[in-house]
């Protein structure tokens, strides 16, 4: 049985994905999940919440050693009609109007971080000094937190997104349990403070009743904030980092984008396809079913390999090549169907403004080390550290 969690697979999962696409749907480690790797099969699974329930994602976030995790009750892990109702209540906070208000603050923050990055001497870790700091700071702004509280957000997000990997030592289990208690306490305090004194932040907006007078319950708010934390941080962190990794390996495209930042939207869309930060998702099979000739028993877990589907040769010509001129197509990087990522617009905006601010100051850059260590998560993929040698514009 193929094991997707070996160090070799984490370093480069794409050869295994290509093998899976050739052989079709099959069971893999960890956990004997059924890996769905082809584009058409992935779309079929994500379009049918009745047969393939998002409760499967919830199971991945509640291992036996963890008695409680509010994220499992979030809208991300619900099916219609509950999902439909919850999504309608929170979507206003992530629409174009809300982002237009936020954009100047993200732009200013991006320029500030770019200036700080360029003041570093020698090789600098892009992850620690830019890729992590930008989305963490934006989420801190959204939550209305004090800057001193920002550093813990990434640690909490990492703990949540790494849960489906399923291989935690006893020491790690204890640390994660303690961290999730701390996170819940932080959100409890935020909700209490905003009820007493509403502000111009996301939590205050979520607390307000909608036009029909309907308001989110305390548990609904808590579970949404738990889900938003990793979604709002990890996706953008790895989109920024993976963009730099890909450009470091494609010098012609790097020179073009550095010379012409208007190409950034094209760059980001192809990075989202070629090296997506959102790597996979999980679904629960609700009834005995057949997909592409393979029988999937009721109660089994399907591993939806988004990153494999995005390199499916049947759907993307020259799928294994990074081509910025690729005709834009539905690339699944933010999901598909009813669970299309609420924060997709925000992630694209942060990545574009962040790289725009940085590239306006860069003549060139290169990797300071050829070796990369990738995140251990099945759900999200990006480097843990990314040392870069930066050459500022003269």
Q: At 261, which CATH number?
A: 1.10.630.10
- Asked whether residue 1 is domain-assigned, the answer is no
Q: Is the pLDDT of residue 126 over 90?
A: yes
Mean pLDDT is lowest, of 49-58, 261-270, 319-328, 365-374, for 49-58
pLDDT of residue 75: 60
**Cβ pair 350, 109 in contact under 8 A:** no
* C-alpha to C-alpha distance for 333 and 29, rounded to whole angstroms: 23
The percent of residues above 90 in pLDDT, for the chain, comes to: 52
- Asked whether residue 196 is domain-assigned, the answer is yes
pLDDT of residue 82: 61
pLDDT of residue 216: 81
**What backbone torsions phi and psi does residue 364 show, to the nearest 5 degrees?**
-170, 170
Mean pLDDT is lowest, of 39-48, 52-61, 216-225, 238-247, for 52-61
Q: Tell me what the mean pLDDT of segment 209-213 comes to.
A: 74
Question: What confidence tier does 150 reach under pLDDT thresholds 50, 70, 90?
Answer: confident
Q: Is the pLDDT of residue 33 over 80?
A: yes
Q: Is the pLDDT of residue 232 over 90?
A: no
pTM of the entire predicted model = 0.89
Q: Which domain holds residue 381?
A: 7-392
pLDDT of residue 330: 65
pLDDT of residue 352: 97
Closest CA to 276 of 322, 242, 317: 242
Question: What confidence tier does 329 reach under pLDDT thresholds 50, 70, 90?
Answer: low
Tokens of 235: 């996706």
pLDDT of residue 77: 65
**Domain count within the chain:** 1
* C-alpha to C-alpha distance for 362 and 215, rounded to whole angstroms: 47
Beta bridge partner(s), residue 36: 304
- Asked whether residue 331 is domain-assigned, the answer is yes
Mean pLDDT is lowest, of 64-68, 112-116, 138-142, 182-186, for 64-68
Question: What confidence tier does 92 reach under pLDDT thresholds 50, 70, 90?
Answer: low
Closest CA to 234 of 102, 149, 148, 139: 139
Q: Tell me what the mean pLDDT of segment 370-387 comes to.
A: 91
- Asked whether residue 61 is domain-assigned, the answer is yes
pLDDT of residue 207: 86
- Asked whether residue 382 is domain-assigned, the answer is yes
The per-residue pLDDT for range 299-310, each reduced to its tens digit, is 999 999 999 999
**Cβ pair 310, 13 in contact under 8 A:** no
Question: Edge to edge, what strands does the sheet with 362-367 contain?
Answer: 124-125, 387-392, 362-367
- Asked whether residue 328 is domain-assigned, the answer is yes
DSSP string, 96-161: HHHHHHHHHHHHHHHHHHHHHHHTS-SSEEHIIIIITHHHHHHHHHHHT--GGGHHHHHHHHHHHH
Mean pLDDT in the chain? 88
Query: What's the CA angle centered on 292, arms 286 and 298, to 5 degrees?
Result: 20
**Cβ pair 253, 247 in contact under 8 A:** yes
Question: What confidence tier does 135 reach under pLDDT thresholds 50, 70, 90?
Answer: very high
- Asked whether residue 2 is domain-assigned, the answer is no
Higher-scoring residue by pLDDT: 121, 341: 121
């Amino acid at each position: 049985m193929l094991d997707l969690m070996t160090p070799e697979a984490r370093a480069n999962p794409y050869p295994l994905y290509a093998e899976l696409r050739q052989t079709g749907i099959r069971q893999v480690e960890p956990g004997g999940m059924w890996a769905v790797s082809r584009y058409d099969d992935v779309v079929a699974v994500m379009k049918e919440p009745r047969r393939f329930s998002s409760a499967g994602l919830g199971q991945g976030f509640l291992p036996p050693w963890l008695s409680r995790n509010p994220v499992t009750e979030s809208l991300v892990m619900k099916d219609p009609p509950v999902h439909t109702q919850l999504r309608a209540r929170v979507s206003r906070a992530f629409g174009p109007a809300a982002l237009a208000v936020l954009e100047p603050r993200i732009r200013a923050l991006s320029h500030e971080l770019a200036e700080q990055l360029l003041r570093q001497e020698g090789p600098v870790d892009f992850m620690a000094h830019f890729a992590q700091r930008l989305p963490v700071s934006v989420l801190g702004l959204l939550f209305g937190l004090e800057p001193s509280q920002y550093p813990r957000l990434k640690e909490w997000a990492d703990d949540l997104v790494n849960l489906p990997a399923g291989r935690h030592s006893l020491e790690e289990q204890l640390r994660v349990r303690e961290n999730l208690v701390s996170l819940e306490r932080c959100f409890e305090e935020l909700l209490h403070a905003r009820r007493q004194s509403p502000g111009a932040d996301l939590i205050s907006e979520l607390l307000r009743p909608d036009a029909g007078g309907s308001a989110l319950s305390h548990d609904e708010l808590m579970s949404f904030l738990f889900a938003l934390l990793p979604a709002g941080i990890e996706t953008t962190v790895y989109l920024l980092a993976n963009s730099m990794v890909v450009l470091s390996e494609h010098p012609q495209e790097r020179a073009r984008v550095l010379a012409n930042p208007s190409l950034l939207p094209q760059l980001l869309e192809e990075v989202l396809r070629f090296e997506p930060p959102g790597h996979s998702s999980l679904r629960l099979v609700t009834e005995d079913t057949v997909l592409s000739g393979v029988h999937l028993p009721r109660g089994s877990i399907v591993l939806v390999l988004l990153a494999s589907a995005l390199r499916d040769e049947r759907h993307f010509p020259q799928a294994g090549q990074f081509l910025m001129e690729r005709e834009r197509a539905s690339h699944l990087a933010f999901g598909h169907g009813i669970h299309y990522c609420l924060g997709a617009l925000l992630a694209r905006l942060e990545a574009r403004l962040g790289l725009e601010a940085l590239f306006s100051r860069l003549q060139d850059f290169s990797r300071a080390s050829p070796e990369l260590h990738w995140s251990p998560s099945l759900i999200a993929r990006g480097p843990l550290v990314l040392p870069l040698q930066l050459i500022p514009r003269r």
